[in-house]
Amino acid sequence: MTETTEQRLAQGLTVAKMYYQADQSQSQIAQQLGISRPTVSRLLQFAREQGLVRIQIVDPVQDVQTLEQALTAAYHVEVHVVPTQLTANAELLNTVGSYAARYLEDIVQEHDVIGIGWGKTIYAIGSNLAPDTLTGVEVIQLKGSVSYSTEHTYAYESIDAFANAFHAVPQYLPLPVIFDHQQTKELVEKERHIQYLLELGEKANIAIYSVGTVRNNALVFQLGYLREPEKAALQAHAVGDIFSRYIDENGEIVDPQLNERTIGINLASLKQKEHSILVAAGDAKVPAVKAALLGGYPNCLIIDQHAAAQLLKVSPNAVAN
């Protein structure tokens, strides 16, 4: 009996699904369907010719370069997109951290002052730094590092990792990042050693940091700094934070009173840094990354490939210089 085109299409589709979706070999398919292996091969070829199967070759390097160019045009900053198309989710943060560590090693020079934040992203960078032979490098925390909870901030591990890599004495900022009262924070800032640390942070020519989110599981939300009404207000008006200073979608401070209770570098100072490096991994950080870029705080962005693509989707149209 002559096989109809419809029957051949149906058989080609069946074989294609077994081969491309179920990842079965041609021999396994032949055995299961009771046909020869050459017939399976011919049916796969037929499926491709009929458009039942489309094979797309994705060049991750080319995609990365395209994303970098488009984001550079949109925000006028140096952009590094980390190739992570083939990276498992569990390895994403470490892959981005390793890339950022290599970048930092390339730009640091003798007697530079490196200011850092804290959290998982910064720790991922610090733990990937290789010991350097530079001399006179200083490392300073750019925001308070004491929390009111047992939640892990990686504050001390991060600065210790940076300091060990650059043979520096770690300069901790041993204070809560957000005070209950503005007056207390202002009083503490007048203490001579704290003044020295804050001035060193202002002097830092390199700042490397990430952004936080306003999701319920955001790290700063877990540290006992904020009351529930404050969290709710931030979730309603902010898209994330930089150095625990909360910003809206345009990069503007959303709660001036809360900002006055926050100790650490002022966001405006980031614009003056020789290297103001924002490092981000994961789609959840995209809204805050966009806000930071619109606010003009970083002059360098290091971001994973998928998040970069998501950022481009919500970015203003690229404009010519």
DSSP per residue over 38-93, as a string?
A: HHHHHHHHHHHHTTS-------HHHHHHHHHHHHHHHH-SEEEEE--TT--HHHHH
Among 27-36, 37-46, 48-57, 234-243, whose mean pLDDT is lowest?
48-57
At residue 232 the predicted structure's pLDDT band, cuts being 50, 70 and 90, is: very high
| β-bridge mates for residue 300, sequence order | 78, 277
Output the pTM of the full model. 0.79
Q: What is the pLDDT of residue 3?
A: 73
Asked whether 165 and 126 are in contact (CB, 8 A), the reply is yes
User: Exposed (0-12), middle (13-18) or buried (19+): which is 73, by Cβ within 10 Å?
Assistant: middle
d(CA 256, CA 262): 10
C-alpha pair distances (Å), 246 with each of 53, 77, 101, 197, 250? 48, 22, 26, 22, 11
Outline which parts of the chain fall under CATH 3.40.50.1360.
Answer: 60-314
pLDDT at 320 over 50: no
Outline which parts of the chain fall under CATH 1.10.10.60.
Answer: 5-50
Q: What are phi and psi of 81, to 5 degrees?
A: -100, 120
23-48 residues labelled b (16+ CB within 10 A) or e (exposed) = ebebeebbeeeeeeeeebeebbebbe
Asked whether 40 and 26 are in contact (CB, 8 A), the reply is yes
d(CA 142, CA 269): 11
Q: What is the pLDDT of residue 237?
A: 95
Which run of H or E residues covers position 225? Answer: none
- Domain 5-50 carries which CATH code? 1.10.10.60
What does the CA dihedral 291, 292, 296, 297 come to, rounded to 10 degrees?
160
pLDDT at 73 over 80: yes
**How many other C-beta atoms are found inside a 10 Å radius of the C-beta of residue 236?**
9
d(CA 223, CA 217): 11
Supply the mean pLDDT for the chain. 92
Q: What is the pLDDT of residue 321?
A: 38
- Work out the average pLDDT over 59-82: 90
C-alpha pair distances (Å), 181 with each of 191, 221, 227, 228, 261? 16, 18, 13, 16, 6
Which run of H or E residues covers position 157? Answer: helix 155-165
At residue 254 the predicted structure's pLDDT band, cuts being 50, 70 and 90, is: very high
- Domain 60-314 carries which CATH code? 3.40.50.1360
Percent residues over pLDDT 70 in the chain: 95
Q: What is the pLDDT of residue 319?
A: 44
pLDDT single digits (tens) 115-162: 999 999 999 999 999 998 899 999 999 998 887 666 678 889 999 999
Percent residues over pLDDT 90 in the chain: 79
- Work out the average pLDDT over 235-247: 95
Q: What is the pLDDT of residue 219?
A: 81
State which amino acid sits at residue 9.
L
Q: What is the pLDDT of residue 62?
A: 63
pLDDT single digits (tens) 162-216: 999 999 999 999 999 999 999 999 999 999 999 999 999 999 999 999 999 998 8
pLDDT at 301 over 80: yes
Instruction: Kindly calculate the radius of gyration of the chain based on its CA atoms and give it in whole angstroms.
Output: 26
